[in-house]
Amino acid sequence: MRQDTIRLPGPAVAPDPGPGAVRPGDLTPELIATDWWSDDAVSRAGIPVVDVPFVSVGGGIGSFVTVDYLRICGVPTSAIRVLTQLESPWESYEYLTRVSQIPRGERLRSDSASCPDNIWGFPSYAVREALATRSPRSLWNVLVEPILADYYTPKAGQAFESMEREHDRIDYASTVVKGQVRMVRRRVGGGYFTILIPAEGTSPTRRVAYRSRYVHVAVGYPGLKFLPDLMEYRERHRDYGSVVNAYEPHEQIYQRLAAAPGTVLVRGGGIVASRVLQRLIDDRDARGLQTQILHVFRTFVTGAHGPHVWMRRRGGDGWAYQGFNYPKSVWGGQLKARVRKLEGQERAALYAQFGGTNTPIRRNWQEQLRRGRRERWYHAFQGEITGLTPGPSGTVHAALRTANGPQDVQVTAVIDCTGLEADIREHRVLADLLDHGGAGRNPLGRLDVERSFEVRGTRSEPGRMYASGSATNGGYFPGVDTFLGLQIAAQEIADDLEALGFCARLGPVRSTHQWWLWARGRKI
């Protein structure tokens, strides 16, 4: 992983053997150079082979919901292996939400029926919350949203706890093998080899090959990057504590602001910025702090925007407002049906229209920012940071280019809330698929998948390779990088596998029966 990439849970990328240093059980130059591997070549290299029908690479929430779906469609745990470096499917996700100010007690950004523990989305989180708390509040919320109330969203803790129950119910743990995946290659004669670097001390060889008919790739973010200006400041001035990205642990900044009054510069117009502002203002309110907040938007939205009356998004005070990261109907309705038919540039153009940086309009956030503007401790403006240099006594000096000309400010800290997702090539497994696996890019430059989530160009009859999650954004279905999107992908994959005879069809009878087992918490 490169220096400019934010460290996520899991070990760093394990290096390949240098020339001449190849030991038995390791990748050989021959293997590295060939696109299609024969059983012979793998055995000549001394790499042990494990046979299993279905392999999922990643082991995050994408793998979890896919395995959940397949288990419900009757696939036994013995037919599935999840190759992962995570302790639990939600480890990486929980890390990202926690540092970006969504601890277990705070609410997420997906709706009541986006339940990664329940493929039916029924009973939804709101119903379950109402039952657990014996309060009709959450039910009232889903009844009147988004007209009379903000969209209901579940607490992070509810999502984690319910996933844990489902994890145990389907015996997910039996499918897990710990280690880092190096590559997936097509096999001569059909199917794939997935090369795993097993966790330390679990295998006599440095590599193990999983030979499977089906492979599912769900490796999450190819990488979350620091913006170049932030990198440059940190490296040049060896100051890693006062200029941070919100996806890094940055508690020290809130502590410094609590210890002495200060000004903080927040950059970005997405939900992470909203969260960070909320944390700053909550601290201000709870502890009587005097924190001043400067908030810089690259694009300052002043009102409703969009190409025509049929496509207008709300906005104002700098923000573009939208309940979820795309308009809601991409997860099931009109926009889902529409994008499914679009190719190439047309698809990319529609993504551009309803994507972009945005944040939900939430009443408590609105109230806090309105108060901040009125009391003049919150200042939002359009601009760009043109330079960062150390200021006196631990402060940071930021030069800004704004609509009113250049401006210099001195702040305690800079919190960058712009997430820049790395190119898919920065992920070694994905790069290998582009170079040796036959995979290509979609109109947004990500991994090109079919409507079934099969990775286009990678077929190795009778095998199939699928991918889901952020790496596939830009395909026939937007919203892939969400709980519900991952479940929609899982459904498409299961439907395809059912047609190939790998799992049972989830028709009304099986579905209702399986739901009943779920509702009673019966292990399957």
Partner 1 sequence: MLPTLNGRIQTRVFVLLVVGGLWTLLVSPLIGQPYGVTFVVLLAVVVLGVGWELLYHLIQQFRWEKDWPTLFGLLTAVNEGALLWALISAGAVPGVPREVPFGAFLVQFLSTWIIVWLVVNGPMRVPFVHWRFRGGRLI
Ligand X SMILES: Cc1cc2nc3c(=O)[nH]c(=O)nc-3n(C[C@H](O)[C@H](O)[C@H](O)COP(=O)(O)OP(=O)(O)OC[C@H]3O[C@@H](n4cnc5c(N)ncnc54)[C@H](O)[C@@H]3O)c2cc1C
- x/- site string to ligand X, residues 73 to 112, per CB under 6 A? ----------xxxx-----xx--xx--x-------xxx--
Q: What are phi and psi of 483, to 5 degrees?
A: -55, -50
Asked if 10 interacts with ligand X (CB under 6 A), we say yes
Min separation Cβ 162 and ligand X, Å? 13
Would you state the structure tokens that stand for residue 179, as one six-digit string?
């280690």
Q: Which of ligand X, partner 1, none does residue 333 bind to, with CB < 5 to 8 Å depending on kind? A: partner 1
Asked if 450 interacts with partner 1 (CB under 8 A), we say no
Identify whether the C-beta of residue 215 lies closer than 8 Å to the C-beta of residue 32.
Answer: no
Give the separation between CA 60 and CA 120, rounded to whole angstroms: 20
Identify whether the C-beta of residue 455 lies closer than 8 Å to the C-beta of residue 424.
Answer: no
Asked if 123 interacts with partner 1 (CB under 8 A), we say yes
DSSP H or E segment with residue 491: helix 483-499
Asked if 401 interacts with partner 1 (CB under 8 A), we say no
Report the chain's terminal Cα–Cα distance, integer Å. Answer: 38
Choosing from 171, 395, 515, 524, the residue that interacts with partner 1 (CB under 8 A) is 515
Choosing from 218, 253, 266, 490, the residue that interacts with ligand X (CB under 6 A) is 218
Q: Which is nearer to ligand X, 220 or 383 (CB)?
A: 220
Identify whether the C-beta of residue 191 lies closer than 8 Å to the C-beta of residue 213.
Answer: yes
Q: What is the dihedral of CA 510, 513, 514, 516, to 10 degrees?
A: 160
Asked if 281 interacts with partner 1 (CB under 8 A), we say no
Residues in the chain: 524
Min separation Cβ 498 and partner 1, Å? 12
Q: Which is nearer to partner 1, 123 or 316 (CB)?
A: 123
Sites for ligand X among residues 367-406 (CB under 6 A): none
Interface region with ligand X, contact rule CB under 6 A, candidates 122-130, 215-223, 236-244, 303-311: 215-223
Q: Which is nearer to ligand X, 218 or 369 (CB)?
A: 218
Asked if 336 interacts with partner 1 (CB under 8 A), we say yes
Q: Which of ligand X, partner 1, none does residue 97 bind to, with CB < 5 to 8 Å depending on kind? A: ligand X
Q: Which of 308, 317, 329 is nearest to 380 (CA)?
A: 317
Asked if 23 interacts with partner 1 (CB under 8 A), we say no
Min separation Cβ 69 and partner 1, Å? 9
Would you state the structure tokens that stand for residue 356, as one six-digit string?
């972009």
* CA angle, 114 then 116 then 120, to 5°: 65
Q: Which of ligand X, partner 1, none does residue 109 bind to, with CB < 5 to 8 Å depending on kind? A: ligand X
Q: Which is nearer to partner 1, 328 or 425 (CB)?
A: 328
* CA angle, 484 then 485 then 488, to 5°: 85
Q: How many residues bind ligand X (CB under 6 A)?
A: 32
Q: How many CB atoms lie within 10 A of CB 520?
A: 8
Asked if 147 interacts with partner 1 (CB under 8 A), we say yes
The set of residues, in sequence order, having a beta carbon less than 8 Å from that of 342 and lying 6+ positions away, is: 350, 476
Asked if 178 interacts with partner 1 (CB under 8 A), we say no
Peptide bond into 392 cis (omega under 30): no
Q: Which is nearer to partner 1, 458 or 472 (CB)?
A: 472
Identify whether the C-beta of residue 467 lies closer than 8 Å to the C-beta of residue 478.
Answer: no
Choosing from 5, 205, 386, 491, the residue that interacts with partner 1 (CB under 8 A) is 491
Give the separation between CA 50 and CA 43, rounded to whole angstroms: 12
State the number of CA atoms in the 13 A half-sphere of 262 facing the CB. 24
Asked if 389 interacts with partner 1 (CB under 8 A), we say no
Rg (CA), the chain: 24
Q: What residues pair up with 37 in beta bridges, in sequence order?
A: 187
Min separation Cβ 512 and partner 1, Å? 5
Q: Which is nearer to partner 1, 45 or 142 (CB)?
A: 142
Q: Which of 397, 483, 452 is nearest to 162 (CA)?
A: 483
Q: How many residues bind partner 1 (CB under 8 A)?
A: 42
Q: Which is nearer to partner 1, 198 or 270 (CB)?
A: 270
Asked if 429 interacts with ligand X (CB under 6 A), we say yes
- Amino acid identity of 330? V
Give the separation between CA 518 and CA 154, rounded to whole angstroms: 20
Q: Which of partner 1, ligand X, none does residue 240 bind to, with CB < 5 to 8 Å depending on kind? A: none
Q: How far apart, in Å, are the Cα atoms of 300 and each of 86, 458, 483? A: 39, 42, 29
Phi/psi zone of residue 513: left (φ > 0), alpha (ψ -120 to 50 degrees), beta? Answer: alpha
- x/- site string to partner 1, residues 294 to 323, per CB under 8 A? ------------x--xxxxxx-------xx
Identify whether the C-beta of residue 268 lies closer than 8 Å to the C-beta of residue 301.
Answer: no
Choosing from 181, 276, 439, 488, the residue that interacts with ligand X (CB under 6 A) is 181
Choosing from 335, 339, 424, 455, the residue that interacts with partner 1 (CB under 8 A) is 335
Give residues in contact with ligand X (CB under 6 A): 10, 57-62, 83-86, 92-93, 96-97, 100, 108-110, 114, 180-181, 218-220, 429, 469-470, 481-483, 486
Give residues in contact with partner 1 (CB under 8 A): 113, 119-124, 127, 142-148, 306, 309-314, 322-323, 327-329, 331-337, 488, 491, 506, 508-509, 511-512, 515
